[in-house]
Chain A
Amino acid sequence: MSVALPRLSGRAAERAALVAVLALLAAAPLFLTPYATSTVTRIMVFALLAASLDLLVGFTGLPSLGHGAYFGAGAYAAGWCAVHVTASGPVALAVAIAAGAVVAAIAGCVAVRARGVFFLMLTLAIGEVVQQLAESWHDVTGGSNGLYGIPAARLGGFSLIDVGARHWFVLAGFAVGAAAVRCIAASPLGDTLRGIRDNEARMRALGYRVYHYKLAAFIISGAVAGLAGGLLAAHQRLVTPPDVGLGTSILALLAVTIGGEGSLWGPCVGAALVVVITDALGSSLGGHGPLVLGLLFVVVVFALPGGLARAVAARRRAAS
């Protein structure tokens, strides 16, 4: 005898999926090996970075190649704070958010005045400057050796030493960051950013201060990327120049493109694919992870223009 399951509405289905994913992420340390748990933790860090970039690329129409800079600023600031000031996890994350926002504010003042390929080149240059700074400012960043010896984050008197505790700490940070991005995307500010992406000239004609809104998006995006960087420092307890470099920026942009810009969940899925292919499957692919990632990118661009999220949305529309 077959049992007819109640059909959920679109929004209810989304909520159910979100709860299921969060429950799975929370339970991951209970049934996964420490290495697999660590990979899932890394996915969350990278997913938050991709979601923050989506706020720029998908919602504001500003494809940035320098997002590693704000991520790195957050990671180094949190690590430095943990080593020299306090091991408190929340304090380190607050410092990371502030560092990401400040670097993004400085970079954004210049970058958002440019458009198209000039914007892309400016953000690329900003990323390079921050990476060079990470390699040469030895006293603060540890130079090319990286910032190591970061103590385990402390929370409420507990030291988050084991993999599971760090995973839950990162999960909490990821949930807060992703919820903040989602909230902004659903607010009038999010609508304004989408308006700028669609038709900047019309927004000006309506009286919007486009420069201010683009700068605000840049700073918020940088703050969330900084938070992701702080979570990386808490998870790895080591920050190196490659973590903040062009490679990280490109992988984040790849995650957004593969997942589908403007959807928030799509870039998170894209980030999971990127981390799994580059990190987890990297060794079993004989070092050809980047090649597989490149092929995946080409396939998505041709077969799923708009990424996974748009393909799913199209299927839903066709089914309804």
Chain B
Amino acid sequence: MSAALSCAGLRREFGAVRAVDGVDLSLPAGARHALIGPNGAGKSTLFRLLAGGLRPSAGRIALDGADVTRLSEARRARLGIGQTFQHSSLFLSMTAGENVALAAERAQGRPWWPLPRAHAARRERVGQLLGEVGLDGRVDAAVMALSHGERRQLEIAVALATRPRVLLLDEPAAGLSPAESARLADLVRRLPDEVSLLFVEHDLDLVFRLATRVTVMHLGAVLMSGSPEEVRGSPEVQAAYLGSGRRQDLFLAPASEPASEEE
């Protein structure tokens, strides 16, 4: 069976800097795959390459076996790649419901309709999506009035509204409180099996709880890829990722049970 999303020999240079250097990655259908690495490892650049926000200098990207390397970001989104960004990227003059509706209407394929839409059906779908991410009753809340945590949740609702087959989440738990982080973990666990997830995250506790596979990047290249246990126990990863080794506890002492393949 072909991978939901894969890349081979992916490279991106910015002048003399090789931000992504020959990365091979394969995301099977239904995967919960984490991408970790120190700052500057090239994780976000790799995300932008996969989503189409950046063109690679070399290499190939495939979605369900079809080459999408030269397709635009919008075209890839229509083919099923959904994403959230490292920094909040919402429609600030709108309400939470309008943000989700904008994404949902693109997926439903009728955004050109010139007459006012059927409000009841639209609100029901939007309300359901907001409920899934824990934003019940916030349909009419202005984005500007939402807390940081709520905005991160809304980002995910917007991405899910496009009905993606592959979901790329860039640091979804950044700035979240422990309670919000736990809710995010619960949401990720409840994602449908047909959605393949690739996420970048610095909260290693969350990574080892959610991921079934972890890829470690360092200086633009893949240092290792394996199960959470293999990554946790790798001295090479510890040295590269932690540098001085100040937070080896994250690797040496499991924070919680690792996710199983069935989750």
Interface size on A, as a range, is 20 to 34
Chain B: interface residue total (CB-CB under 8 A): 33
Contact B106 A202 (CB under 8 A): no
The stretch that binds A, out of B19-27, B62-70, B84-92, is B84-92
Any chain B CB within 8 A of the CB of A143? no
Set A186, A197, A202, A207: member contacting B116, Cβ < 8 A: A186
Within 8 A of A (CB), among B63-101: 72-75, 77-78, 83, 85, 89-94, 98, 101
Q: Does B102 contact A (CB under 8 A)?
A: yes
Chain B interface SS verdict (over half): loop
Rounded to whole angstroms, the CA-CA distance of A216 and B83 in the bound complex is: 26
Q: Is the CB of A187 within 8 A of B92?
A: no
Asked if B112 contacts A205 (CB within 8 A), the reply is no
- Say yes or no: B111 contacts A205, CB within 8 Å: no
A18 and B179 alpha carbons, distance in the complex (Å): 49
Contact for B91 among A199, A210, A216, CB less than 8 A: A199
A184 to B90, CA, bound (A): 22
Measured between beta carbons, the chain B residues less than 8 angstroms from A207 are 74-75, 77-78, 106-107, 162
Closest B residue, CB atoms, query A216: B112
List of A residues within 8 angstroms of B106 by Cβ: 206-208
**Contact between chains at A205 and B102 (CB < 8 Å):** no
**When A and B form their complex, what is the total count of cross-chain residue pairs whose Cβ atoms lie within 8 Å?**
83
The smallest C-beta distance from A283 to any residue of chain B, in angstroms, reads 41
Identify B83's interface contact among A183, A186, A203, A205, CB under 8 A.
Answer: A205
State whether A187 and B116 are in contact (beta carbons under 8 Å apart), knowing that A205-B53, A207-B106 are contacts in the complex. Answer: yes
- The 8 A CB mask of B208-238 against A (1 = contact, 0 = none) is 0000000000000000000000000000000
**Which residue of chain B is the closest to A188 with respect to CB atoms?**
B111
Contacting residues, chain B, for A204 (C-beta < 8 A) = 53, 72-74, 77
Q: Is B103 an interface residue (CB 8 A)?
A: yes
Please tell me which one of the listed residues B53, B74, B102, B115 contacts residue A191 in the complex, with CB atoms under 8 A apart: B102
Quick check: B116 and A191 within 8 Å, CB to CB?
Answer: no
- Contact A183 B77, beta carbon cutoff 8 Å: no
Q: Please give, as numbers and ranges, the residues of chain A lying within 8 Å of B15 by CB-CB distance.
A: none
CB pair B51–A205 under 8 Å, yes or no, is yes
Cβ contacts A171-210/B at 8 Å (1 or 0 each): 0000000000001101111011011011101111111111
Chain A positions within 8 Å of B, measured between CB atoms, are 183-184, 186-189, 191-192, 194-195, 197-199, 201-210, 216
A-B contacts, 12 listed (Cβ < 8 Å): A187-B113, A188-B117, A189-B113, A191-B111, A194-B94, A201-B89, A202-B89, A205-B73, A205-B89, A206-B74, A206-B102, A207-B78
